[in-house]
Amino acid sequence: MDFALTAEQKQIKDMVSEFVDEEVKPRAAEIDETDEFPADLVAEMGQLGLMGMPFPEEYGGAGLDYHSYAIGLEEISRGSGGLGTIVAAHTSLAGNMLYEFGNEDQKQTYLTPVNEGTDIGAFALSEPGAGSDVPAMETTAVKDGNEYVVDGGKLWISNGSVADTVVVFAKTDPDAGNKGISSFVVRPEEDDGFVVEGTEHKLGDKGCPTAELRFDDMRIPEDRLLGDEGDGFVQALKTLNGGRITIAARSIGIARAALDDAVKYAGEREQFDQPIGEFQAIKHKLADMDTKVQAAKLLMHKAADLKMRDETFIKEAAQAKLYASEISREVANEGIQIHGGYGYTKDFAAERYYRDAKLNEIYEGTSEILRNTIGDWLQK
């Protein structure tokens, strides 16, 4: 057992950390305020190899291991929660679907520009009536000659309004339950009938547009099918398992930012003629915050380790995401508490971390669904 980072992992951490401190952190409040997609930062991240971290170089990726990818995403999320979602949805979800289930042509055509960051990816699974209950989806894809005709709509799609490539799930056999779901590559610029209905006004996660999409008799060529008809549900679950490791990374990054700011503030703010960090109550809060962050990291890297060994990691990914997301919210909450009244204002980033952290408990499997998964696994 070796808990030390390899030379490559350390190099990635240092490189991304420097980028985040110099380019992201100074912009984070503005991104939060304007809620605009930071296209220039994303383009720069593409040039740095941060938009396709875990995929092979032959498809434009950076060829990093999953630990390095998680470390990179943790650092990015330390700078901006919204940017963390942009990268996670683009890479762990859209990119992974193309890499794992695309054929060689699809990988060359769609995955390479996604990994290079010249195309933005999105993953469209959820619908108004189908969030946790994926098989309840109503979007259909009907074969017509050498095309599919897609009708329906999707909700909550991260990057959905700015994406060049959207992986869309639809029912090709509505009577076959979860075995009737298939996945397709959709290209908003090329495919008539792709409509962005609008974007959500959210509590946090600003800068990452969360879009409502509609498909009106949208015709796509048959060679956009990923894998075989009926594979979509299993593909989605496999992809979400890997994605959960990176939502743990986003959670840890936000928690670290909250902790860093709290430590700094506790050293600066004086009450009763001493820094508040000298009070045992505050010192203990900081100690608990860091202990939770360190424990979450171990769970995240354990799940990443199993994934890299090609072993089953469903329970471990669920545990990493469940624990990291909950401690992220708790740590951010204590960050506000340590800042006192100032923490409740926009003068400090503490309140942003809290708003950004909350989302981790909802997407890519709510905490309740993850507890179901872990409990089912224990009782198998």
Ligand X SMILES: Cc1cc2nc3c(=O)[nH]c(=O)nc-3n(C[C@H](O)[C@H](O)[C@H](O)COP(=O)(O)OP(=O)(O)OC[C@H]3O[C@@H](n4cnc5c(N)ncnc54)[C@H](O)[C@@H]3O)c2cc1C
In this chain, which of 126, 139, 161, 165 binds ligand X, going by CB under 6 A? 126
- Alpha carbons 66 and 64: distance in angstroms, whole number: 7
Q: Which of residues 80-99 bind ligand X (CB under 6 A)?
A: 89
CB of 311 to ligand X, least distance (A): 26
Where do we find the tokens 């959500």? 200
Residue 183 in the binding site for ligand X (CB under 6 A): no
82 token code pair = 């919204």
Considering the rule CB under 6 A, would residue 334 count as an interface residue with ligand X?
A: no
Hey, which residues are catalytic here? 364
Q: Is 124 in the site for ligand X (CB under 6 A)?
A: yes
Alpha carbons 285 and 266: distance in angstroms, whole number: 11
Query: How many Å from the N-terminal Cα to the C-terminal Cα in the chain?
Result: 28
Residue ranges of alpha helices (H) inside 188-343 are: 232-268, 280-308, 314-343
Q: Dihedral sign, CA of 142, 144, 146, 150? A: negative
- Residues forming beta bridges with residue 372, ordered by sequence position: none
Shortest approach of ligand X to residue 42 CB, angstroms? Answer: 16
| String marking each residue 128-167 x if it binds ligand X according to CB under 6 A | ---xx-----------------------xxx---------
Q: Which is nearer to ligand X, 137 or 266 (CB)?
A: 137
Q: How far is the CB of 371 from ligand X (least distance, A)?
A: 8
Point out which span in 27-35, 178-186, 325-333, 365-373 binds ligand X (CB under 6 A).
365-373
- If one counts every other C-beta atom within 10 angstroms of the C-beta of residue 312, the result is 12
Q: What residues are paired with 154 via a beta bridge?
A: 213
Among positions 23, 366, 374, 377, the unique one binding ligand X when judged by CB under 6 A: 366
Say how many residues make up the chain: 380
Taking CB positions, which residue lies at the least distance from ligand X?
131
DSSP annotation of 157 reads E
Cα–Cα dist 64/52, whole Å: 9
Of 220 and 236, CB closest to ligand X: 236
Residues 19-58 interacting with ligand X (rule: CB under 6 A)? none
DSSP conformation letters of 201-228? --SS-TTS-EEEEEEEEEEEEGGGEESS
Based on CB atoms, which residue is closest to ligand X, 243 or 343?
A: 243
202 binds ligand X, rule: CB under 6 A? yes
Q: Which residues pair with 166 in a beta bridge?
A: 122, 186
Q: Please identify, among the stretches 105-113, 117-125, 306-314, 340-348, the one whose residues bind ligand X according to the rule CB under 6 A.
A: 117-125
How far, in Å, CA of 107 to CA of 27, rounded? 33
Q: Which of 108, 372 has the CB closer to ligand X?
A: 372
- The answer to whether residue 318 forms part of the interface with ligand X (CB under 6 A) is no
Choice from 55, 101, 123, 184 touching ligand X (CB under 6 A): 123
Structure tokens at 26: 């100074």
Residues at the site binding ligand X, with contacts judged by CB under 6 A: 89, 123-126, 131-132, 156-158, 202, 205, 210, 359, 362-364, 366, 368-369, 372
